[in-house]
Structure 1
Amino acid sequence: MQFHIKKNKNIIHGVLLLDKPYGLSSNNALKKIKYLLNAKKVGYTGTLDPFATGLLPLCFGEATKFSNYLSEADKYYEAIIHLGITTETGDIEGKIIDFNKNIPNSIEIIEKILINFHGKISQIPPMYSALKYKGIPLYKYARSGITIKRKLRYIKIYKITIIDYTIPYLTLRIHCSKGTYIRVLSEDIGKMLGCGAHLKYLRRIGIDKLTLDKCLNIDTIIKYSEYERISSLIPIDILLSSFGIIYLSDLLSKRFLHGQNLFLSDENIYILIKSGFISNNKVRVYNKKNCQFLGIGFINNFFLLTPVRLISLF
């Protein structure tokens, strides 16, 4: 008779910045890393399609409480758009449904068109997406030949930069708001150029202030020991790098962690004002003595600090 000893899961807290490879879904990437770190609790923020690569933050333990704040942040992508070919899904994984040889031969034509895509624009989410209708992802309806009416949504394109144009491939760097579908953007650019297009390549290179610089790929993580894997986690507050910061004394830290409202000291008010903080906003809160991250607080016009989300590491 054989006996198998079940290894206890590691209770760990922090963020791992994964460089997701081509062909792996975000969920499968999550499962793989969860297994490698033997982690008890893990989630991700900002889904990437299987054919897309790049920055995928994985949140462990208490970090999962704050993952939704990063989902709200701006995104940065590098994309290659294939002009002249339209596909069923808007990307390379779909069946080709149209060819058009009337591709622009001048980058100036494309530059004039791209002006129309700066600022606040509307998009209709694609059928081949993870958005749900009656609890079922839209892509499952699409695969069954069913089309669901989708609501128009507004997103913001802050900047589109042409990196290269080698006919028929247009390479762009895009800074956009949350909820932007680069596949839809590619198709819309193709429509406005009159030749059609689909997304050939997509790589997420940034989310808010997070970049690929500190990312690890799966092959590297596999070579690490379990200790090295866990040591690769970065602090939870990296998810909130765009938030203002305040520091509390030991006494006020305890009161904050007990959910009490606090009036800020003149010192903290000065720091916030100097940093350009806007009232009625959220801040990162730390213990001044040991710089321990305590959670997120909301500050009103009277500089009253209200706990919003707290960590439970004590």
Structure 2
Amino acid sequence: MNGLLVLDKPSGLTSHDVVAIVRRATGEKSIGHLGTLDPMATGVLPLLLGKYTRLAQFFGQAEKYYEGSIRFGFATDTFDAEGTAVGDPQPPTRSLEELRELSKRFRGEIDQVPPVYSAKKINGVAAHKLARAGVEVAVKPARITIHDFRLLALQGDVATFEMHVSAGGYVRSVAHELGQLAGCGAHLASLRRTRAGLFTLKEAVTVEQLKQASGPEEIAALLPHPRTLLPEMPSVTVDEQMAGRLRNGMQVNLPEFSQAPLVKVFTSPTDLLAIVRRVAGTLMQPIVVMG
């Protein structure tokens, strides 16, 4: 099966677990996810299926949108509810307005230190694997952008929030650091990704829908239409002669796309053949061929 599946990941599953479920449901062995979600988190997780895994490079570093909750009073070693409490519990005393004022420090470009228990690679090894093996881990800060971070309400020791963050940002780290600023410790209590790039919960498919599908054809009907993907690229349908040239890695002339750096080439309304790059004038070179 070829295409892109927008999955609504349930809590308690790793991204690897999700790939295994989709593999069983679709019968497709080649599956890759565009970014990951922590096991505790739920929400939008785009997956490339079959030959569409060759397109991963074009989806770039998508911005993410989240909603969730932060519990104040103690920190954890993982910065979320799945970790072990560290330090002595401190009764939270900050009001919602005070927390909102503190949260302003996280907006804009910041240097963020990822959690030690994360998929961040250190010398090719995931940081969380080193940490669980008892290896002392020093994770370098990364420059990210938090476009929006709003605390919505505070009930007892739990604050709800919404966040819009660039690729590579860790919401867990924000929760942890906000707790430090508040002087009482905090950790991420829940997290739901509502959007990743252009993909939202509206088109997301649940694991239950996959399991209940009668077969690959029914699942294929749940995928976004191929021409709606990578909307920044124009698309064209070519005849078999030109398709043959592209399959052989040969350049083709597409006079209607003199300004487009990249073009999606189809052989039918739904069959994507290639992505081509303009090399000179209207001359295009295939850079990915689906076969």
Shared fold per TM-score greater than 0.5? yes
- Aligned: 1:42 with 2:31: yes
1:81 to 58, 70, 80: 70
Distance 1:249 1:223 in 2: 37
Matched letter for residue 38 of structure 2: D
Q: Is the 8 A contact 2:265 2:276 kept in 1?
A: no
| Structure-2 change in CA distance of 1:27 and 1:288 (3 Å) | closer
Residues 60-209 of structure 1: matches in 2 within 5 Å? 60-70=49-59, 72-98=61-87, 99-105=89-95, 107-209=96-198
Distance 1:169 1:84 in 2: 9
C-alpha root-mean-square deviation of aligned residues, in Å? Answer: 2.6
| Structure-2 change in CA distance of 1:177 and 1:299 (3 Å) | farther
| Structure-2 change in CA distance of 1:102 and 1:36 (3 Å) | closer
1:219 to 208, 216, 225: 208
Distance 2:283 2:186 in 1: 52
Matched letter for residue 240 of structure 1: L
How far residue 94 of structure 1 moved from its aligned partner, in angstroms, is 0.7
Matched letter for residue 224 of structure 2: I
Distance 2:183 2:279 in 1: 50
| Structure-2 change in CA distance of 1:161 and 1:304 (3 Å) | farther
Distance 2:94 2:277 in 1: 51
Please name the residue that 1:295 is paired with.
274
Gaps of 5+ in 1: 1-11, 273-280
* Deviation sequence 1:45-81 (CA, Å, 0-9, x none): 2111111111112221111111344351111111211
Q: Is the 8 A contact 1:83 1:103 kept in 2?
A: no
Q: Is the 8 A contact 2:63 2:165 kept in 1?
A: yes
How far residue 292 of structure 1 moved from its aligned partner, in angstroms, is 4.5
SS at match of 1:244: coil
Which stretch shows the higher mean deviation, 160-169 or 21-30?
160-169
- Aligned: 1:56 with 2:45: yes
TM-score normalized by the length of structure 2: 0.87
Which stretch shows the higher mean deviation, 167-176 or 130-139?
130-139
How far residue 262 of structure 1 moved from its aligned partner, in angstroms, is 5.3
Task: Calculate percent identity across the aligned residue pairs.
Answer: 30
Q: Is the 8 A contact 1:284 1:293 kept in 2?
A: no
TM-score normalized by the length of structure 1: 0.81
- Aligned: 1:311 with 2:290: yes
